[in-house]
Amino acid sequence: MKHLVRLAVALSLCSFAVQIVFVRGDTYDRSGSFSFDQDLLETTQHDTYNVHLEVGDTLTILCKNGSKFRPSKFPEMVCLSDRANCKDDAAVNLKQLFPSKKNAVTGGDGWEKPVVLTVPDEMRVPTRLSFACLSPKNHAIQFEVDIPRGIKNLKTWAGTDPEAFSAAVLSTRASLLLPVSLGLAVYFGSH
């Protein structure tokens, strides 16, 4: 009965709620999706996920495009910075970030098969990874993973091009007791 109550509570906490989940030696997956049909200068919408990641935890990223356009640069091009926004000339190959950790990045191309990033021990330094998915009009959904020494934050947002990527699936996997806080915040603003 307690499990049914917990399930009902979990199902009632939809996209706009904040939920605390404890993973006990199992896999916990949560997906967030968003679509845009208005001009970027008129409306800004953010999906925000707060995920607590430690060394050894796994972040799985999968991008899907509603118009069936397949990007040519995801997830190969990313940028890496230390406590600063990524610059245009900071793009590097994702797998080159961890030359000593051959298994830090595995999986597919982020389209048909998700790309899997296992947090290695050298990520204990403040680091920012940025993954961009290009649309036919060069708008993008950008996944930004900030990894400070404490709690790690993963945020997603996108441009409002109707032909841009319309969905993104994010999941975390942990082998230990791991508190995961997930919330969706939507902001509308005029510029």
Would 94 be classed as within a structural domain?
Answer: yes
Whether residue 78 is predicted with pLDDT greater than 50 in this model: the reply is no
Give the whole-angstrom CA distance, residue 124 versus residue 114. Answer: 24
On whether the pTM is more than 0.75, the answer is no
The verdict on whether omega for the bond into residue 75 sits within 30 degrees of 0, i.e. cis, is yes
Locate 142 and state its tokens: 């950008």
- Average pLDDT along the chain: 44
Would 95 be classed as within a structural domain?
Answer: yes
Would 170 be classed as within a structural domain?
Answer: yes
Would 37 be classed as within a structural domain?
Answer: yes
In the chain, the percentage of residues whose pLDDT exceeds 70 is 3
Would 100 be classed as within a structural domain?
Answer: yes
Number of domains comprising the chain: 1
Q: What is the pLDDT of residues 26-58, one digit of tens each?
A: 333 333 333 334 333 333 333 433 444 566 766
Q: What is the pLDDT of residues 138-156, one digit of tens each?
A: 444 445 555 544 444 443 3
Would 31 be classed as within a structural domain?
Answer: yes
Identify the domain containing residue 146 by its residue range: 16-183
Would 6 be classed as within a structural domain?
Answer: no
Sign of the dihedral through C-alpha 74, 79, 83, 89: negative
Give the whole-angstrom CA distance, residue 73 versus residue 3. Answer: 43
Would 9 be classed as within a structural domain?
Answer: no
